[in-house]
Structure 1
Amino acid sequence: MPPALLDLILPPRCAGCGAPGAPACPSCRAELLREPAPRPPDPPPPGLPDCWSATAYDGAARRMILACKERGRTALVPVLAAAVSACVAAWAAGGEVRREVWLVPVPSARAASRRRGHDPVRAVAAAAARELCRRGRPAVLAPLLRQGRRVADQAGLGSAERAVNLSGAFEAVSGRVARPRPCGRGPGGVAVVLVDDIVTTGTTLAEAARALRAAGAEPSAAVTIAATRRRCRIGDYHGQ
């Protein structure tokens, strides 16, 4: 039985530590919201926007992301979205950004979405936009990108290999970037922020940023729930 249905039938347990009572206990929620801060990969790939994450990809944060993404624990979407919205708010406050924010989810591979039965990044971005609005910061979900072609599994690839694998993988959805919002402002009057679950080498976010720029929208930042602790290896970028 899918975990999402089990959550409806059985008393929920924390996806971070297994404690009964809720999909995420207060302690694991606090770990997820540990410290919104810039966490770019080192070295960053060319074209990567200002890159922020809510926490490191380890411990309870890692377990909660995997539970939502790979095991269908969709009850965790609001919890993960709180991390994204806190990160966006911290980034915007640091740069004194007062514009409307467009949250652009990095598109999942169609095969992965079918296998999982949902698109976790898009769901988290949508919930984060609603949370930001509740806190008084205008924000909308802006699904401006789609997959342009199939890509290989990224696991085990270094930065240079990932860059080759992802080159040209994303494209803008026709007409959406230039279409003005009801408030009458186009991309020039908003802060465009890419959203993904994890940043490792940064190549996925850099490719997504390239696709937006090709369509005339300059991303102001990239925000993820968590960032991995990089280990440089042969084939990674070195100062490029």
Structure 2
Amino acid sequence: MRHIASETSGLIVPRECPCGREGAFLCTRCAGLLRVPPVRVDAVCDALQIVHRSRLRETPEGPAGVDHRALLPVLALGEYSGDLQRLVLGWKNGGLAHLARPMAQGLAPAVAMLCSGAQAPVLVPVPSRLEAQLRRGEHHTGELARALARCTSARSSTVGLRLGHGQRGHGARERRGRSAVLTGTVPGGGPLILVDDVVTTGSTLRAVVQALRAGGAEVRGAVVVASARLPAPAAVPGSSR
């Protein structure tokens, strides 16, 4: 009966994965993209880099220069390209709300990595600009945070935040200068973990973190579905180029 019902519904609403494969709303191959170990990507987010220390002269630790560290750790499931990009766009702009659950299940290990042994975190969705929410008809990162809370020990909570200018049409320097204003109260009960769809330069995360920390919040990190870039694989000692 379940098979008959599935086949009948497929005649009414054709089942097609965002990658174009027919027969399922999420094919096996694309589902596998959401079940990979999360990777840290903050090192390739330029806007998240802050000066850690500087050396005026060469030392045993390295030559003269400036060392940077990330404002916060950011974990992603993969690079924003190919089928993963199609999944994100289908969920974000194509009305494929059913993808929030498998994305949340894929990000659950990332939440555990950020708050291992700590108090249960509070998941805070990174807000979209109002016009984007009106165009999509929903707050998609809020849906992702709620789905993520259902498959972890965390809880989700929205925070009143107003973002400055958007990303599109702005250069790297303007993006880095993006701002956010806290318009509500900071949720209590545990450290905060930000939830977003894609990270590019990290300027939006930087603005939100600064606004939340200015309001007294402890922001432990961020989880995103995809990153515009991934760190280069670590070189294997003794390998040739």
Q: Shorter-chain TM-score category?
A: 0.7 to 0.9
CA positional deviation for 1:14: 0.9
| 160 and 45 in structure 1: CA distance in 2 versus 1, 3 angstrom threshold | farther
Deviation digits for residues 23-57 of structure 1 (CA, Å, limit 9, x no counterpart) = 21121111133330211124334473111112111
Identity of aligned pairs, percent?
Answer: 34
- Match among 159, 163, 166 for residue 144 of structure 1: 159
Which runs of structure 2 are paired with 1:152-231 in the superposition (5 Å)? 152=166, 154-164=167-177, 166-167=178-179, 169-174=180-185, 177=186, 186-187=188-189, 190-229=190-229
Q: SS at 1:193's partner residue?
A: strand
Tell me the number of residue pairs that the alignment of Structure 1 and Structure 2 aligns.
202
Question: Residues 22-101 of structure 1: matches in 2 within 5 Å?
Answer: 22-40=24-42, 41-43=44-46, 44-46=48-50, 48-92=71-115, 96-101=116-121
Alignment CA distance shift 1:107-1:42 (3 Å): closer
Deviations 1:176-196 (A, max 9, x none): x25xxxxxxx34xx2210111
User: Of 124, 130, 134, which aligns to 1:114?
Assistant: 134
CA distance in 2, matches of 1:48, 1:37: 16
Distance apart, 1:156 and its partner CA: 4.8
After superposition, the C-alpha distances for 1:179-225 in whole angstroms (9 at most, x for unaligned) are xxxxxxx34xx221011101110110011101111110020111111
Partner Cα separation in structure 1 for residue 159 and residue 124 of structure 2: 6
Using the size of structure 2 for normalisation, the TM-score is 0.75
Measured in 1, the distance between the counterparts of 2:168 and 2:136 equals: 17
Query: Residue 106 of structure 1 contacts residue 195 of structure 1 at CA under 8 Å; is this kept in 2?
Result: yes
Deviates most, 27-36 or 38-47: 38-47
Shift of 1:13: 0.8
Partner of 1:235: none
Q: Which has the larger radius of gyration?
A: 2
Q: Which has the higher contact order (CA 8 A, sep 6+)?
A: 1
SS in 2 for 1:99: coil
Match of 1:21 in 2: 23
> Cα RMSD over matched residues?
2.4
Q: Distance in 1 between matches of 2:225 and 2:183?
A: 23
Q: What's the CA shift for 1:172?
A: 4.5
> Quick check: 1:33–1:86 contact (8 Å CA) kept in 2?
no
CA contact (8 A) 1:32 1:60 kept: no
2:121 is paired with a residue of what secondary structure? Answer: strand
Q: Secondary structure at the match of 2:77?
A: strand
**Offset, 1:102:** 0.5
Distance 1:8 1:123, change over 3 A: farther
Match of 1:123 in 2: 143
Find the residue that maps to 2:217 and give its secondary structure: coil
Deviation sequence 1:36-87 (CA, Å, 0-9, x none): 0211124334473111112111121110000111111112111222222232
TM-score, scaled relative to structure 1: 0.76
Against the structure 1 CA distance between its residues 217 and 172, is the aligned structure 2 distance closer, same or farther, given a 3 Å change threshold?
farther
Residues 8 and 117 of structure 1: CA distance in aligned 2, closer, same or farther (over 3 Å)? farther
How far apart are the structure 2 equivalents of 1:121 and 1:171?
18
- Structure 1 gap segments, 5+ residues each: 1-5, 133-137, 179-185, 231-240
1:121-177: per-residue Cα shift (whole Å, max 9, x none)?
Answer: 110111011011xxxxx21011124225x524x12534321122x22x331413xx2
8 Å contact 1:54–1:86 — kept in the other structure?
Answer: no
Matched letter for residue 38 of structure 2: P
Distance 2:11 2:173 in 1: 44
